[in-house]
Amino acid sequence: MPSRARIADVAEIAGVSRTTVSHALSGRRPVSDEARAKVLAAVKELNYRANQLAVGLRKARTQTIAFVMPDITNPFYPMVARGVQDAIRDAGYQVVVCSTDGDADREAAFISDMVGRAVDGLIVDLFRTPGEYVQSLVGGHTPVVILGPLKAPIGDRVHGDDKVSVAEATRHLLRRGRTRIAFVGGLPGVGPADSRLSGYEDALLGAGLPIVPELVIRCDYTRQGGRAAVAAALDAGLDFDAIVCANDLGAIGAIDALRAAGRAVPDDVAVTGFDDIDAAALVHPQLTTIDNRAYEKGTVCGRLLLQRITGELTGPFRDIVVPGALNVRESA
């Protein structure tokens, strides 16, 4: 196997110094057009690639950030990750993705491991790890951006207006004449479940309707979780004419259960979701849902973290709300 080309090889073929090669490739110092052309020709001839480890050591950076997320199979998170990558790519950064399944031990282990690997920054969406513990894992040297509801004095925070958005989805159902509205999804204290439930409750109380405890059905954020929860509610004889779901996967599972029980959507039971993943427009009936603006959240997280890493942004941590929007389709 041929040896990898070095910067000295580029310099020799181009007939310039190694310093000139470095300046020509980095753009940090002016280089004559003639010298730059010779360097680029030599780079092409040798198929030269900079040793990123060596570059990182000189800069005291690894050019990597870690994105710690609950579930990479939930389509919301790959779209967030795409936004992060697009925001940091031109700065020469790459993203390491850590999927935790919302497990506290995995969340802590991934954070500790990434800090130990000297990533330049972290984006974290944590379901179960307390902010104080995260602070002890990260220390004061690694910039952090929090995605989601976690509140902790460890970094900037980017989140949606979950309570407001779910309240709007619930009011939409009320305007359609629905009065026995169930809430499905999100275990207590896990991720955004409680804030979304609070929005549902506010909308019902604002319409003069009581909160019916048996219509608040908690489950995990998966299609299987939503399907099982609604199937159990139907088997128990619960009466409802609409369901507000905490996310789209749960809503699609709810529609599965309703269809299996012979209930028509939306004629018998209307259903709303949250996230507006691609599948929301592909299922039948198409899902009415909250656009959670996953890509936009990713780009905001990426830009914030990059600004903290480079020192462009200093001072107090920022709290940035990326508002959602109701997308009315066929299911409600």
Q: How many of the other CB atoms lie within 10 Å of CB of 24?
A: 24
Q: Which helix (H) or strand (E) holds 182?
A: strand 181-184
Residue 51 has what pLDDT?
A: 53
The backbone torsions φ and ψ at residue 105, rounded to the nearest 5 degrees and listed phi first, read -65, -40
What CATH class has 59-159+294-322?
alpha beta
pLDDT tens-place string over residues 137-180? 887 789 999 999 988 889 999 999 999 999 999 999 999 999 99
Partners of 291 in beta bridges: 275, 325
pLDDT at 58 over 70: no
Name the pTM for this structure.
0.80
Asked, as a colleague might, if the bond just before 316 is cis with ω within 30 of 0, I would say no
Same-fold call for 59-159+294-322 versus 162-291: yes
The C-alpha atoms of residue 187 and residue 202 are separated, in whole angstroms, by 19
pLDDT tens-place string over residues 282-303? 999 999 999 999 999 999 999 9
Long-range contact pairs involving 231-239 (C-beta distance under 8 Å, separation at least 24): 231/257, 231/260, 231/261, 233/182, 233/184, 234/258, 234/261, 234/263, 238/182, 238/214, 239/180
pLDDT tens-place string over residues 85-135? 999 998 889 999 999 998 999 999 999 999 888 899 999 999 888 888 888
Residue 57 has what pLDDT?
A: 44
Q: According to the CATH classification, is domain 162-291 in 3.40.50.300?
A: no
Contact, 184 vs 244, CB < 8 A? yes
Instruction: Please report, in angstroms and rounded to a whole number, the separation of the first and last CA atoms in the chain.
Output: 62
The domain locations on the chain are: 7-50, 59-159+294-322, 162-291
Contact, 247 vs 222, CB < 8 A? no
pLDDT at 184 over 80: yes
The C-alpha atoms of residue 114 and residue 235 are separated, in whole angstroms, by 46
DSSP secondary structure code for residue 92 in this structure: T
Residue 24 pLDDT class (50, 70, 90 cuts):
confident
- Catalogue the E-assigned strands of 127-200: 144-147, 156-159, 181-184
CA angle 301, 303, 308 (to 5 degrees): 95
CA Rg, the chain, in Å? 25
pLDDT at 315 over 70: yes
pLDDT at 240 over 80: yes
pLDDT at 219 over 60: yes
Give the domain 7-50 fold. Answer: 434 Repressor (Amino-terminal Domain) (1.10.260)
pLDDT at 53 over 50: no
Residue 60 has what pLDDT?
A: 56
Residue 277 has what pLDDT?
A: 96
Contact, 233 vs 206, CB < 8 A? no
Mean local confidence (pLDDT), 39-52: 76
Task: Specify the 3-state DSSP secondary structure of 320.
Answer: strand
Alpha carbon dihedral 126, 131, 137, 141, in 10-degree steps, equals 100
Partners of 324 in beta bridges: none
Contact, 262 vs 288, CB < 8 A? no
Residue 7 has what pLDDT?
A: 81
Contact, 77 vs 292, CB < 8 A? no
Residue 26 has what pLDDT?
A: 64
Burial class of residue 301, CB neighbours in 10 A (0-12, 13-18, 19+): buried
**Averaged pLDDT score across all residues of the chain:** 91
pLDDT at 63 over 70: yes
User: What counts of helices (H) and strands (E) characterise the chain?
Assistant: 12, 12
Task: Specify the 3-state DSSP secondary structure of 279.
Answer: helix
Asked, as a colleague might, if the bond just before 285 is cis with ω within 30 of 0, I would say yes
Least confident of 23-37, 171-185, 208-222, 285-299: 23-37
Most confident region among 49-58, 59-68, 97-106, 198-207 by mean pLDDT: 198-207
pLDDT at 323 over 80: yes
Contact, 71 vs 101, CB < 8 A? yes
Residue 27 pLDDT class (50, 70, 90 cuts):
low
Residue 207 pLDDT class (50, 70, 90 cuts):
very high
Least confident of 3-17, 172-186, 195-209: 3-17
